[in-house]
Structure 1
């Protein structure tokens, strides 16, 4: 309890130093997180990926948070290794470099050499980091109400929701077994792609707090001068990186969720994807929706785009369809006026997320993760090869794989299912018409429409109902006239009662009147 009180005082002191009572902005939030220490830096980095929770301007600023933190001393590192390996590290490793090659809030990385002379890297989790982070988050959650009040953000940022989301993400990232599984899955997905690889995991030495991987020496993708000196074609690197990323999303359904430059290296002609602690899964259902959405944007098909948007998530309130159509039309219009090669996928994804937030459509966290990952990917490509356009590559990849994805058996099955469904529905039409007539007769029909041309819709509905009523009158006249023909009613003409003849002629006149009216209306619509 004393420790908790002391930490709370530290948090409040930092907040006071940054004068949060005078309001908060993205830059100030970054400063607060950095002053609170490594745990909060990590949280800020994860928060930058959640533009469905935080406004976009906050996400952009948080993405700039520093990644390097004060390293653990080597004695601490040695002690952790001894504990996790259950033996002296020098029994397994011929050499361990004392200086880390990377330090982050959750772990730090050291180069090492195994007894068989294979070069490896050791990702070593900081001691008690999970407990420290949990205590910090518990305190922060208790202070969430105060933060909303003190920062003046009101409902702009739901700190409690942010903290819950971040804790779940952090727990997953602190489990190195999960990261090892991600690496193995990624390697398997890319084993047929000769120009892509990732580190190999040494499972016999790895666990939840220690990850031993093969060492890959190379050049970071944004180190342009080094790449040029080594004779690499940066445009080819950009193209192939983008193509492989599209494969991860649209074919594998498993993608690198944090493709910043530090996680992409070039080694011996291969693109190496590092650090799969954050990875996303995209189901076949969502992949199909994404393809529909991109196709709809390129075809300027607002109706299909609206259906795709609604399929991405669940509406948390009643949808204003007219407003949604207008917003989608504006968004598509914005990109249709651009040259295809200059479209910015990152900007498009941000606009789409803003639109979903505006219309209160809740989306799955993996969709948000994908959107942020795409923005990061495009930013990374611009640093390496500005000429590479993600939209172009994404649509080209979709087109190239469309034929391969066609399954004749599945298509026939779907066609037969549609035919069966249509046949079944057609058999229900007479019963549905009967029900409609009954509720119309009883005055129970009520139609709700949302349209900017409501008056025109109502006039068309009235005309349609008038035609239906006249058609029913014709049917009644002809049916009753036919029944009278079977009776002994007189006088008759050519064997038919006069009244039957009158009924048939009246019905025929009404039918001719309806046909002439329909022809005139069609002529007006064409004009």
Structure 2
């Protein structure tokens, strides 16, 4: 069994280790979203909170007490809880690191893989550090920030003008409301099924008092079909109630 990490995945993984060491929640969250493939809507507030709890778990530990394989495994599991599938190479990497750390624990318990990785990354950062490029990047960020700051008064003026004309709108989104609304929707659907079941039952009973033809076992055929439909729908509602408590 083997896997392969692309250059992009290696770069993101390296940045992820830096974010874990520095405790940067927002950066690690963006790395998880960039590295994985997610379907559906992501609850960013819940994901941020889970990553914050994940980093808080290792905040007070030194590098010698950390288990890199376990860290990667927990991070992959956290992503899966949010319906984010990580590349197969990352999963294989976590298994390989767990195996490697198990071998190191037997051969040389004093060696810590995370310390080796941190020292290697620190050496690479010092080697690749370019003071001139860093200064250029800072001046570029400063220039972009100043340009955005210049546009703020004009944007505020447009916002006030729209508010005075009644054109300003506020979009409100209640975080975490999806699950209660889904439960309410399921309750309403169940109530509608019960009403339809009762209506078919009463209607079939009324048809039985008439002489409508044709008949089956002395009961009008339409009434018999109504009884069967009410029975099936009643069983369906009871099963749904038992399944979802």
TM-score of Structure 1 vs Structure 2, range by shorter chain: 0.5 to 0.7
Change in CA separation of 1:326 and 1:407 when aligned onto 2, cut-off 3 Å: same
Higher relative contact order (CA 8 A, sep 6+): 2
Match of 2:76 among 353, 358, 362: 353
Per the alignment, residue 445 of structure 1 pairs with 169
Per the alignment, residue 389 of structure 1 pairs with 112
Deviation at 1:450, TM superposition (A): 6.7
Deviation at 1:310, TM superposition (A): 2.4
Distance, in Å, in 2 between the alignment partners of 1:392 and 1:327 is 25
- The SS at the match of 2:109 is coil
Is the 1:381–1:388 contact (alpha carbons within 8 Å) kept by the matching residues of 2?
yes
Distance, in Å, in 2 between the alignment partners of 1:294 and 1:393 is 12
Structure 2 portions without partners, runs of 5+: 177-245
Distance, in Å, in 2 between the alignment partners of 1:371 and 1:439 is 53
Is the 1:300–1:336 contact (alpha carbons within 8 Å) kept by the matching residues of 2?
yes
Structure 1 portions without partners, runs of 5+: 1-45, 47-277, 453-527
Change in CA separation of 1:302 and 1:383 when aligned onto 2, cut-off 3 Å: same
Distance, in Å, in 2 between the alignment partners of 1:309 and 1:411 is 26
1:45-88 CA-partner distances (Å, limit 9, x unpaired):
x4xxxxxxxxxxxxxxxxxxxxxxxxxxxxxxxxxxxxxxxxxx
- The SS at the match of 1:280 is coil
Deviation at 1:444, TM superposition (A): 3.0
Counterparts of residues 54-203 of structure 1 (less than 5 Å): none
Per the alignment, residue 372 of structure 1 pairs with 95
Per the alignment, residue 250 of structure 1 pairs with none
Match of 2:4 among 267, 271, 280: 280
Judging by fraction of residues, say which structure has more strand: 1
1:486-507 CA-partner distances (Å, limit 9, x unpaired):
xxxxxxxxxxxxxxxxxxxxxx
* Number of aligned residue pairs: 175
TM-score (norm 2): 0.59
Deviation at 1:396, TM superposition (A): 1.9
Change in CA separation of 1:431 and 1:339 when aligned onto 2, cut-off 3 Å: closer
Is the 1:322–1:450 contact (alpha carbons within 8 Å) kept by the matching residues of 2?
no
Counterparts of residues 304-343 of structure 1 (less than 5 Å): 304-343=27-66
Q: In the alignment, does 2:142 pair up with 1:419? A: yes
Distance, in Å, in 1 between the alignment partners of 2:142 and 2:59 is 36
Distance, in Å, in 2 between the alignment partners of 1:335 and 1:327 is 13
Distance, in Å, in 2 between the alignment partners of 1:409 and 1:281 is 31
1:195-247 CA-partner distances (Å, limit 9, x unpaired):
xxxxxxxxxxxxxxxxxxxxxxxxxxxxxxxxxxxxxxxxxxxxxxxxxxxxx
Distance, in Å, in 2 between the alignment partners of 1:427 and 1:286 is 38
Deviation at 1:358, TM superposition (A): 0.7
Q: In the alignment, does 2:21 pair up with 1:298? A: yes
Change in CA separation of 1:282 and 1:373 when aligned onto 2, cut-off 3 Å: farther
Distance, in Å, in 2 between the alignment partners of 1:330 and 1:311 is 20
Deviation at 1:399, TM superposition (A): 1.8
Deviation at 1:422, TM superposition (A): 2.1
Distance, in Å, in 2 between the alignment partners of 1:391 and 1:451 is 37
Task: Decide which structure has the larger Cα Rg and report it.
Answer: 1
Deviation at 1:328, TM superposition (A): 1.5
Judging by fraction of residues, say which structure has more helix: 2
Counterparts of residues 452-491 of structure 1 (less than 5 Å): none
Coordinate RMSD, CA, aligned: 2.9
